């Protein structure tokens, strides 16, 4: 709990303002709905002439983890010369003017012969060189499992593999990077619907930049929560543009906090997970930007004083919304956002 009541000069209850109702916007984001990005707080002065273009300056990879009723996982046997005959998850690059969901469905059909309907992201990984891999799960809806008789340049065949063959290293795997993904997929599959995080699928909205929108939250108790907002042009959640060749959602949160509170020494923001994602992938798009909305817990002993007057702490009033946010702090209740440069959590 805080040592004393927060300074009212930098803290407000939630009000209707020109930028919109903060609680309503927060609820929309948590519900997987679109909330516009009208202002970028940090990073624009550092990106130079960088323009995100799929397969040119930014690389979006999609993959699928599909597990059948018998607990077997769908895998494909590679046809590429460099990894011929080895096994991997159905996976591939997103094409220009293609949505993430469309790309994932295409890759599964091309490599495994099956059609499927994605139900949620399982995780998003990111690393150096503007590399992002989005792994989906869902339900098989049709098609026919590819056999050696129908091998092509996409794959040799596909099979439902018993996990024991993977655990005991009886199956030649193309790369070990999929092993944590498989573990994550089974963890999700074994949970009940109530135990899983809320389904999260990308929304189709164009963005000019690679944007991190950290929802920076300070929980004083299970019934008292504050969220950091920026008031330039109306209250909204502060956003940052990735300006590093090693993109980092946590770095964006640090820069926003530094702008808001000045000295960030002693503060250790923690990423709880991804709660919303927007990407265009539409015909005629000149930029292939993306917007990640990420829940960030400040985990501070008290509500930090704000030095920059354009920032405010808004106290969340709606009890149901407070409960939803508190739930998201729990492990496994939001989509994992994995920084490959920092190792896997």
Q: Classify residue 241 as exposed, middle or buried by CB count within 10 Å of its CB (0-12, 13-18, 19+).
A: buried
The answer to whether domain 11-52+208-339 and domain 59-190 are alike in fold is yes
Are 297 and 227 a contacting pair, CB within 8 Å? Answer: no
Regarding beta strands 240-241 and 224-230, do their DSSP bridges make them parallel or antiparallel, or are they unpaired?
Answer: unpaired
Sign, CA dihedral 131-135-170-343, equals positive
Series of mean pLDDT values for 10-residue runs along the chain (345 residues): 38 47 95 93 91 93 98 98 97 95 98 98 91 97 98 98 95 96 97 94 94 96 96 92 81 93 86 95 86 94 93 96 94 92 58
pLDDT of residue 245: 74
- Phi, psi (degrees; rounded to nearest 5) at 212: -105, 125
Question: What residues form DSSP beta bridges with 139?
Answer: 117
Tokens of 45: 């002065």
Q: Which CATH superfamily is domain 59-190 in?
A: Nucleoside Triphosphate Pyrophosphohydrolase (3.90.79.10)
11-52+208-339 topology per CATH: Nucleoside Triphosphate Pyrophosphohydrolase (3.90.79)
Give this prediction's pTM: 0.92
Q: Give DSSP secondary structure letters for 275-313.
A: EEEEE---TT-S---EEEEEEEE---SSPPPPSSTTEEE
pLDDT of residue 1: 36
Q: Which long-range contacts (CB under 8 A, 24 or more apart) does 242-248 make?
A: 242/43, 242/47, 242/130, 242/209, 242/210, 242/211, 242/212, 243/43, 243/46, 243/47, 243/50, 245/128, 245/129, 245/130, 246/127, 246/128, 246/341, 247/126, 247/127, 247/130, 247/210, 248/339, 248/341
pLDDT of residue 84: 97
Angstrom distance (rounded) from CA 76 to CA 153? 12
Chain centre distance of CA 337? 5
pLDDT of residue 14: 56
How is the chain split into domains, by residue range?
11-52+208-339, 59-190
Chain centre distance of CA 196? 16
């Amino acid at each position: 709990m805080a040592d004393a009541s927060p300074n009212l000069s930098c803290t407000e209850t939630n009000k209707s303002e020109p930028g919109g109702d903060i609680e309503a916007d927060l609820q929309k984001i948590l519900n997987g709905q679109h909330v516009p990005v009208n202002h970028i707080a940090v990073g624009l002065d550092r990106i130079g002439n960088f323009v995100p273009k799929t397969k040119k300056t930014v690389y979006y990879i999609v993959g699928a983890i599909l597990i059948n009723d018998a607990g077997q996982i769908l895998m494909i046997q590679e046809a590429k010369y460099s990894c011929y005959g080895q096994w991997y998850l159905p996976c591939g690059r997103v094409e220009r003017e293609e949505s993430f969901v469309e790309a994932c469905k295409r890759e599964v059909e091309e490599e495994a012969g099956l059609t499927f309907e994605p139900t949620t992201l399982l995780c998003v990984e990111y690393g150096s060189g503007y590399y992002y891999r989005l792994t989906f799960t869902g339900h098989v809806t049709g098609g026919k499992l590819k056999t050696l008789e129908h091998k092509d340049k996409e794959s040799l065949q596909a099979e439902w593999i018993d996990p024991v063959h993977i655990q005991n290293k009886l199956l030649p795997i193309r790369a070990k990077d999929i092993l944590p993904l498989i573990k994550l997929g089974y963890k999700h599959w074994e949970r009940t619907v109530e135990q899983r995080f809320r389904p999260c699928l990308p929304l189709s909205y164009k963005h000019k930049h690679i944007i991190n929108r950290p929802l920076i939250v300070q929980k004083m108790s299970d019934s008292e929560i504050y969220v950091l907002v920026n008031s330039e042009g109306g209250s909204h959640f502060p956003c940052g543009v990735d300006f590093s060749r090693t993109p980092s959602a946590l770095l964006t949160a640090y820069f926003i906090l530094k702008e808001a509170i000045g000295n960030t020494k002693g503060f250790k923001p923690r990423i709880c997970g991804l709660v919303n994602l927007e990407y265009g992938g539409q015909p005629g798009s000149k930029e292939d930007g993306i917007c990640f909305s990420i829940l960030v817990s400040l985990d501070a002993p008290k509500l930090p004083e704000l030095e920059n007057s354009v920032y405010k702490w808004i106290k969340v009033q709606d009890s149901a919304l407070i409960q939803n946010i508190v739930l998201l702090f729990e492990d496994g209740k939001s989509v994992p956002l994995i920084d490959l440069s920092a190792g896997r959590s």
